[in-house]
Amino acid sequence: MKFVELGRRPLKLSTVVSAALLCVLLLASGQTAAHFLLNLNTRIIHVEHLSNGLRVYLRLPMPYLVANLVGPDLPEGLPEPAPYTTNIREDGNVVYYLDAKALQADPGGLGDLVADGHQFIGDGVVLQARVETVRVYPGSRQPPFSTLDEARASFQSALYPPEFPVTYVSDTVVDTVLLFTNQGAATSYNVSSSLNPGLPGQEKTANLILDYYPGSVEVFRARGLLDDPIPISRSPWAAAITFIKEGMLHILEGLDHVLFVICLALGAVSFRSLFSRTTGFTIGHSVTLSLGFFGLVPSGAWFIPTIELGIALSIIFAALVAVRQRKGHQPPELTMFAVTAGIGTLHGLGFSFVLHKILQVDSPNIWQSLLSFNIGVEIGQLLIILACWPLFRFLSRLGERGWLVARWGIAAPCIAVAALWTVQRAILVIQNI
């Protein structure tokens, strides 16, 4: 049970390339807002080092704790609710609410679910946790939790104040303090989780682990359920690598970004041209990644859908430029540099929206994390180019006619998918104006 929340015959080679690419693109074409999948799946772990162990401040969405604890169907037709929840049927769906009375009666039991679902291992030994305190918040009322001081402050209020509204479990976050003592000082350790709620999108859970060793702070980023242990150490490089990996994954898994880079490379008639255009794209998205992350952009509801619409249109533009170009008849490279830099600003904002959902402006080591994420985006972009550029150079040797057919075979599916996104995203813009 899951928790419900409101001319001529084309050349054979080009035909194969086109068909394969079209199949891949159409299978993924339903993904129209890939930048906003991590809104409600963020787990934040602050680790404070003590002389005799660790104190951990942990925040995660409540469904991760109880979604797999729903009981069998009862005679009245509803499943037996999971601990700390009630359920009713709304519009034909079973929905779950926080059971505030059960929480008030036994908050420690909810904390035990957190403790049992997370493992801290130092020197090969599983550290034993004791639950110190628990707080529960509606997602719309959760206090800041980006720094250690903010995490401490989140426990100053009541367990669940009576003025808080009854909230869906899917809109509820749980804050817990876990104490690991009598373990000695732990300079390095592994963090993992055995929680597996079986929720859609759980594989994209955004995990942020902040380690506060005396005199320094390291910030680590991981994706998923943490079923594979994450090594936490005093190495700034190890911490940076986690954000580099995330930047790579974001561009490689973001189909709209991948299609644009493919079309960008397809339209470059030489390595110099490719270098010029990708450099412009890099400069553009690097600037707005930072601006968007720090909130120096409009905040209206229309803005994000508009950026998404612009990204879709940029794919169509790059694809049309690619199919219309002929060697010796392409736009001046300075013009294309400026154009790709401008388009890069749109994609940079797309990158920043995801990063901002995970890493807040007041998080420690913010510039190290931001730079590392951007480096990851650049590496991901380079990997896409390395994968497609040799193929494009090979196809360009087929002759003027063959190269034109091949370019259309690659660009046409990109245009078709981007056109679909354009319609979908334009509707969202209109709805949010």
> pLDDT tens digits for 100-134?
999 999 999 999 999 999 999 887 788 899 999 99
40: confidence class by pLDDT, cuts 50, 70, 90: low
Residue-wise pLDDT tens digits, 296-352: 888 778 888 899 999 999 999 999 999 987 655 567 778 888 999 999 999 988 888
Poorest-pLDDT segment among 40-44, 156-160, 215-219, 335-339: 40-44
Phi, psi of 295 (to 5 degrees): 80, 15
Percent of the chain with pLDDT strictly greater than 90: 53
Spatial distance between the Cα atoms of 49 and 185, rounded to a whole number of angstroms? 7
Single-letter residue type at 337: F
Contact of 56 with 45, CB cutoff 8 Å = yes
Greatest alpha-carbon pair distance for the chain in Å reads 79
Q: Calculate mean pLDDT across residues 166-188.
A: 84
Is it the case that residue 32 has pLDDT exceeding 50?
Answer: no
Give 211-215's long-range contacts (Cβ < 8 A, gap of 24+). 211/47, 211/49, 212/46, 212/47, 212/48, 212/49, 212/148, 213/49, 213/187, 214/49
Q: What is residue 226's three-state secondary structure?
A: coil
| pLDDT for res 5 | 38
Q: For the residues 17-28, what does the mean pLDDT come to?
A: 44
Handedness of CA 247, 34, 40, 71 (dihedral sign): negative
Q: pLDDT-based confidence at 355, cuts 50/70/90?
A: confident
269 secondary structure, DSSP code: S
Would the pLDDT of 74 be above 90?
no
Query: What is the spatial distance between Cα 105 and Cα 84, in angstroms, rounded to a whole number?
Result: 10
- How high is the pLDDT of residue 329? 59
Given a cut of 60, whether residue 86 has pLDDT beyond it is yes
Please tell me the distance from the alpha carbon of residue 211 to that of residue 232, in angstroms, as a whole number.
Answer: 8
Checking if the pLDDT of 152 tops 90, the result is yes
For residue 179, what pLDDT is reported?
Answer: 95
For residues 9 and 290, give the distance between their C-alpha atoms in angstroms, rounded to a whole number.
48
Q: H/E element holding 135?
A: strand 130-138
User: What integer is the mean pLDDT of 371-395?
Assistant: 93
Between the alpha carbon of residue 350 and those of residues 235, 260, 263, 322, the distances in Å are: 29, 13, 18, 23
Given this model, what pLDDT does residue 135 score? Answer: 97
DSSP state of 73: B
Does 234 or 35 have the greater pLDDT score?
234
Q: What phi-psi label fits residue 293: left (phi over 0), alpha (psi between -120 and 50 degrees) or beta?
A: alpha
pLDDT over 80 at 94, yes or no? yes
212-240 mean pLDDT? 91
Local confidence band at 262 (pLDDT 50, 70, 90 cut-offs):
very high
Residue 25 in this model has a pLDDT that exceeds 50:
no
What is the mean pLDDT of the segment spanning 276-305? 87
Measured distance between the N- and C-terminal CA atoms of the chain, rounded to whole angstroms: 37
Question: Average pLDDT of the chain?
Answer: 85
Distances (CA, A) of 360 to 27, 301, 347, 377, 422: 34, 20, 20, 19, 30
Tokens of 88: 């009713």
Residue 7 clears pLDDT 90, i.e. is over it: no
